[in-house]
Structure 1
């Protein structure tokens, strides 16, 4: 049962709900540590091997397990109380990162432990979303998820900007140690500062219940179309990220200028989320398709090979379109039965991360054949058409 009323809107209304400040502070703390640790691990692997490929595998290993975790383990989010799941996930992640600090740990072991943390992450995301659905009413639920996304964008923006600086200052090993502390702090905040929410229940083994969730999603056409839409929109709009370094080189700028492109997309995402929270729920629903087009169309302008500052502004506009989720989240909530919500949100988050990893890899592959700006333009063109078609099917 919801513990809020719909009379207040905005992030402040969400943060006034008892226990939710701890949820969002915990998210910020663990997210910041995770991003910084990815930077540290990439540098650590490169220092030990001198291999750019193995260093890049750090990001691949961060994306890859999401798909497996979402398929095999999604039912954990429904089988146990959310608070217990969240605390256990944080402590297991802390243990995995802590094991990376064992002296003499081989690169294969480091990547294997990173894969384990990637399996845990979608379970955590699904349980957290399911608990928000119990603690917030239908109007505030999308605002709560928006705040999680905004925090993620801020921490990604700051983490990648400051991670390399922190590695230079204290070294990658100490930064990994700091990540252990952030996971433990997140577990403490959630364990002692958040209210209890009951489990949806269990009917079979974890794997069987997870597969039941997949069958439920496949049989529920309206829900399936909504989830697919939340996967495909970021799949196309994230392709410029995979080509940021190559595009900077194409324009004659230094490779470090790619940071401006990453920052532009993240900053736009934050501003879009903030702006959308001030709109009425009905307005956010009406703006779903305009927001989706906003996320795709700016990439088409890359055909003119814009300068880095202009390109960063275009990606900021594209990032702002990700606020379309604020109109979609209430529809996903309404279309999914309470006993399946943990599994649905786990599958949603894991699928979104997995398909983004694949789309970034695809953009890199196409970018070896076409010029980077043409590849980005093509992503914008195809993305606009495909996403508009999916949106019309999902929203009708």
Structure 2
């Protein structure tokens, strides 16, 4: 990175890695981060509220898991079809419009006595709007932060996501108990409004640049949209490293089952609503600590070799649920699982950096589609298993199958990495600015943290 860039963004010296403080010194990024923090806090409170509401109304682990799966499955459609909006329209405007639309939909969900089917439809609509927002945010980030500062910024976003999940889930149980479901959803709607204001007033506008460096236009014909989807699929599919790392990211489908089963698991243990929040917070707590440790203590050139082992490690602790341990032990196992999930963040950052700006939103959307679809299916299947057996049995089986899947994905990643002969590192294996033609690197991790 040149001295001019360090001066313009308040970055670190060349002889030390960028820190979280370096990224927060960049005012537009700081505002983007603030909006994200508020929105995630509200989202997690709302997830606790919906989980408790559905389980209280139905007493069904399968239906509770189905409702939770609805926060993932819409991306199967929204990822390919809507993420490209971040490449066709101004990215700041895309984020503001989707935030405002989600605020309105969640406010409708907060109406007391809303029928469960209507809640589900609104939840699907809210989740579909998340796809263009996340794609726009991930695409604009490399233009706010450069070089190693970009990697640190992506890590901060991931750490913030996990930490805000912990806080939101931990406070969500008592808050829902104290206020009720409707006010908790109202809090979520308000955070979307605040996020829209912060992003709208605090970020510069940005359009995707075409191959010639000229910003793209907003042409929205069906043929153009299909062409963009096809191009995004080619970008992702032609690189063995991207394919392998997306497979590693999808291992989270076996880990996320613990979130969909939190309410029935707490009921199985004879615990109350507060325990639901603690169970939901356990995995994000581990992930938040793991992300900091991985990005600050592990050298960039070592991180690629850890992705496979960490993916396996994220599933192994779940097998311990087969012994039906008490609540504190379950929380501890899920925290350890979250620690290993930290590999998602450097992989995610490298994926975004590897894709040319003109296709970054669409390619990211397709990667998120694979991730979220597998997560939704995982939650749904685990709910059916929990209904037929027990929540601990379903979690343990998910962990066992996840170990096998993680081993296969890890081997594929090792072959792809060795075959490419590239040092992918934590930032794409290069000190070039993200998005430059020479920047190699992989994949998508946790989408909301991207």
> Above 0.5 in TM-score?
yes
1:188 and 2:204 correspond: no
Output one character per residue of 1:357-376: Cα deviation in whole Å (capped at 9) or x when no partner: 21122123333455554543
Aligned 1:5-16 pairs, distance under 5 A: 7=14, 8-16=17-25
Contact 2:68/2:260, CA 8 A, preserved across alignment: no
Equivalent position SS for 2:26: coil
Which one of the candidate residues 72, 76, 83 is aligned to 1:67?
A: 76
2:282 alignment partner in structure 1: 264
Q: How many residues align?
A: 392
| 1:342 to 1:41, Cα distance in 2 relative to 1, 3 A | same
Contact 1:40/1:172, CA 8 A, preserved across alignment: yes
Q: 2-side partners of 1:103 and 1:316: how far apart?
A: 35
2:140 alignment partner in structure 1: 131
Output one character per residue of 1:155-202: Cα deviation in whole Å (capped at 9) or x when no partner: 322323333433444444333333332111101111111233332335
Contact 1:284/1:326, CA 8 A, preserved across alignment: no
1:112 and 2:121 correspond: yes
TM-score norm. by structure 2 comes to 0.76
| 1:12 to 1:210, Cα distance in 2 relative to 1, 3 A | same
Equivalent position SS for 1:62: coil
1:391 alignment partner in structure 2: 410
Output one character per residue of 1:105-126: Cα deviation in whole Å (capped at 9) or x when no partner: 6544433222211110121111
Contact 2:46/2:184, CA 8 A, preserved across alignment: yes
1:290 and 2:306 correspond: no
Which one of the candidate residues 242, 247, 254 is aligned to 1:223?
A: 242
Equivalent position SS for 2:236: helix
Q: 2-side partners of 1:117 and 1:244: how far apart?
A: 22
Aligned 1:349-388 pairs, distance under 5 A: 349-370=368-389, 372-388=391-407
1:29 alignment partner in structure 2: 38
Q: 2-side partners of 1:185 and 1:174: how far apart?
A: 17
Question: How far 1:144 sits from its partner (Å)?
Answer: 2.3
1:144 and 2:153 correspond: yes
Contact 1:127/1:346, CA 8 A, preserved across alignment: no
Q: 1-side partners of 2:333 and 2:411: how far apart?
A: 25
2:437 alignment partner in structure 1: none
Equivalent position SS for 1:387: helix
1:205 alignment partner in structure 2: 221
Contact 2:65/2:379, CA 8 A, preserved across alignment: no
Contact 1:139/1:281, CA 8 A, preserved across alignment: no
Q: 2-side partners of 1:239 and 1:60: how far apart?
A: 9
**Ranges in structure 1 where 5+ consecutive residues have no aligned partner:** none
Which one of the candidate residues 271, 277, 297 is aligned to 1:254?
A: 271
Contact 2:46/2:185, CA 8 A, preserved across alignment: yes
Contact 1:15/1:21, CA 8 A, preserved across alignment: yes
Q: 1-side partners of 2:91 and 2:362: how far apart?
A: 12
Q: 1-side partners of 2:392 and 2:119: how far apart?
A: 35
C-alpha RMSD of the superposition: 3.1
Which has a greater percent of helix?
Answer: 1
Question: How far 1:56 sits from its partner (Å)?
Answer: 6.1
TM-score norm. by structure 1 comes to 0.86
Q: 2-side partners of 1:374 and 1:99: how far apart?
A: 37
2:257 alignment partner in structure 1: 239
Equivalent position SS for 1:64: coil
| 1:176 to 1:244, Cα distance in 2 relative to 1, 3 A | closer
**Ranges in structure 2 where 5+ consecutive residues have no aligned partner:** 210-215, 418-450
User: Which stretch shows the higher mean deviation, 126-135 or 286-295?
Assistant: 286-295
